Chains A and B, each alone.
Chain A
Amino acid sequence: MALTASISTANRPRASREPQSARRQWWSRFALRWIVLAVLLALWQLATMAFPSPFFPQPIRIFERAALLWLPGPNGVLTPSMLNDVLPSMGRVLLGFAISVVLAISLGVAIGLSRKFADYVDPIIQFLRAVPPPALIPIFLVLFGTGDEMRVLLIAFGTAWPILLNTIDGVRSIEELKYETATVFRISFVSRLKRIVLPGAAPKILAGVRTSLSLGLILMVISEMVAASSGIGFSIVQAQRGFGFPDMWAGIVLLGIIGFLLNTLLTVIERRILAWQRSSGRETA
């Protein structure tokens, strides 16, 4: 036993040799990441100071504006930007995403289970998923008006495809033997769905959800930029048109942070659901 372990460390000569140095290595890695980040921020600051450009404000100004715009006051009162831009944006993207997840998984399970059904709808799906969702904005404006319905539906429509395709793929990847086992134990159709199909397809489904999440943010922003009177996308465009470049940058940074947080949240959910298998977090088409 000891030897096989040693041989595998031999493949990676720099692997940790004792717990103490392992911990030290963890710390040095941790420090390395943040030091590099800090150095780059500092360089960014210095560069903007050395070569002033209105389009590229100093990061310090950007973070100042961001704090002013979104951090709640000392008495916990939410700022107008938080109320008018951030919360509506989050509401739209989460609602659209929720609709998409529910519909895409249900439809995907149905298609994945029935080859016939799949044959009927396959060309339609192949076409619809290939339409770049922003190209639909004018049509959605005509069909659903300029209100939030249009934005929520656009997000739902655009994010549905990766989840749908991955669900189909995931359902199809379940071995026949699992169904046969279920048949032998006389397990009902509904509990087969719950106990075999969904868990079996879960890794793929979640990979699709991950891809869709960044798509959802893109659609949220673009839909707010084209036609809205609130939202983070709207505020970025307004700032640009009003020459409020620090505000524009603050919006971009905020979107990065929101994306990061949503992604982290998804990772936590994924870990819980997929505790039985190690997920690679790899993107799939």
Chain B
Amino acid sequence: MLNIEHLTHTYGTGAKAHLALKDITFAVEPGELVSIVGPSGCGKTTLLRTMAGLMRPTGGDLTFLGNEITSVPEGLAMVFQDYRGSLFPWLSVESNVRFPLKRLGLSKADLDARVSESLVAVGLTGFEDRFPFQLSGGMQQRVAIARALAYRPKILLMDEPFASVDAQTREDLEDLVLSVKKKFNMTILFVTHDIDESVYLADRVVVLSKPPTFVVTTLDIPLSDNRDQIETKEDPEFIRLRGEVARLIRHPKSDDVTIPVADVA
């Protein structure tokens, strides 16, 4: 569905050139939740922006549904880390969810149904007329997720969506992602720097190195589909997997790569 092959990106040119993404290859298949995890500053956001068509990488092939990504493709939605910036402060919760639908030429009934269905899915019924400033951070991010759901994307990109909320809210939102994934049979690409989160949510984890970034490995997560914040995280398999991801991030086993320590600082 989403194919990334030998993606590279260099910022700047000449002497000041900075190789951010060295060689990234992976794919996302329909119905999968793939999480991308890597150390802070490893270019996760750059990677996601290139996939969303918000910027062009300097090299490599990106295709979505068989088409090369040159600008934001149809059928893609994104949830940003910065919900404050991403929600429109002058629109009520409902209007924020409605915002991207105007262009789609839906009937009034269809539109209303999508909006209310999405708000139900994220647990925000009763908050339709509130404005973003009247909601907590976690609730604001729920609005952003509801908006993406109502848009019915073929793929949902999430850029560290829960990095700015407190730990308790974060767990609730993680479970929300799992539940809407199941409910809408969504394909989701989830970027995070939190190892537990990446393993807990994903069917597959793509582990990235420090910059210049390459894919250290892609790891299948053979945990059951019914995950639970307490039980799953006690599961020895979960503990083994998170340990492995952590080790891979710290000590990439790829032999042909020397870790450029100077560049990290």
Binding site for B on A (CB under 8 A): 1-4, 6-7, 9-10, 13, 17-18
Residues on the A chain within 8 Å of B263, using CB:
2
User: Other than the known A3-B18, A6-B46, A9-B11, what 7 A-B pairs have Cβ atoms closer than 8 Å?
Assistant: A2-B18, A2-B263, A3-B41, A6-B20, A7-B45, A18-B12, A18-B16
Binding site for A on B (CB under 8 A): 11-16, 18, 20, 41, 43, 45-46, 49, 55, 211, 263, 265
Contact between chains at B14 and A18 (CB < 8 Å) = yes
Minimum CB–CB distance from B13 to chain A (whole Å) comes to: 6
**B41 in complex: contacting residue of A4, A10, A18, CB < 8 Å:** A4
State in angstroms the CA–CA spacing of A13 and B9 once bound together: 13
Residues on the B chain within 8 Å of A4, using CB:
41
Interface of A is mostly: helix
Contact between chains at B16 and A17 (CB < 8 Å) = yes
Residues on the A chain within 8 Å of B16, using CB:
17-18
Residue of B nearest to A19 (CB): B16
Contact between chains at B12 and A17 (CB < 8 Å) = yes
Residues on the A chain within 8 Å of B55, using CB:
10, 13
> Could you count the A-B residue pairs with CB atoms below 8 Å apart for me: how many are there?
31
Minimum CB–CB distance from A49 to chain B (whole Å) comes to: 48
Which A-B residue pairs are the 8 nearest by beta carbons? Answer: A6-B11, A3-B41, A17-B12, A18-B16, A2-B18, A10-B55, A6-B18, A18-B14
Known contacts A2-B18, A2-B263, A3-B41; A10/B49 CB under 8 A: yes
State in angstroms the CA–CA spacing of A224 and B43 once bound together: 65
Known contacts A10-B49, A10-B55; A3/B20 CB under 8 A: yes
Residues on the B chain within 8 Å of A18, using CB:
12-16
Minimum CB–CB distance from B147 to chain A (whole Å) comes to: 22
State in angstroms the CA–CA spacing of A10 and B41 once bound together: 14
Residues on the A chain within 8 Å of B43, using CB:
3
Contact between chains at B265 and A10 (CB < 8 Å) = no
Contact between chains at A1 and B265 (CB < 8 Å) = yes
Contact between chains at A3 and B211 (CB < 8 Å) = yes
Residues on the B chain within 8 Å of A6, using CB:
11-12, 18, 20, 46
**A7 in complex: contacting residue of B12, B15, B46, B265, CB < 8 Å:** B46
Minimum CB–CB distance from A57 to chain B (whole Å) comes to: 48
Residue of A nearest to B12 (CB): A17
Minimum CB–CB distance from A224 to chain B (whole Å) comes to: 45
Residues on the A chain within 8 Å of B18, using CB:
2-3, 6
State in angstroms the CA–CA spacing of A13 and B49 once bound together: 12
Minimum CB–CB distance from A9 to chain B (whole Å) comes to: 7
Contact between chains at A10 and B11 (CB < 8 Å) = yes
State in angstroms the CA–CA spacing of A223 and B32 once bound together: 76
Residue of B nearest to A20 (CB): B14
Residue of A nearest to B263 (CB): A2
Residues on the B chain within 8 Å of A10, using CB:
11, 46, 49, 55
Minimum CB–CB distance from B163 to chain A (whole Å) comes to: 14
Residues on the A chain within 8 Å of B14, using CB:
18
State in angstroms the CA–CA spacing of A3 and B47 once bound together: 13
Residues on the B chain within 8 Å of A7, using CB:
45-46
State in angstroms the CA–CA spacing of A9 and B13 once bound together: 13
Residue of B nearest to A3 (CB): B41
Residues on the B chain within 8 Å of A1, using CB:
265
Residue of B nearest to A17 (CB): B12
Minimum CB–CB distance from A170 to chain B (whole Å) comes to: 25
State in angstroms the CA–CA spacing of A174 and B49 once bound together: 42
State in angstroms the CA–CA spacing of A75 and B17 once bound together: 59
Residues on the A chain within 8 Å of B12, using CB:
6, 9, 17-18
Minimum CB–CB distance from A16 to chain B (whole Å) comes to: 10
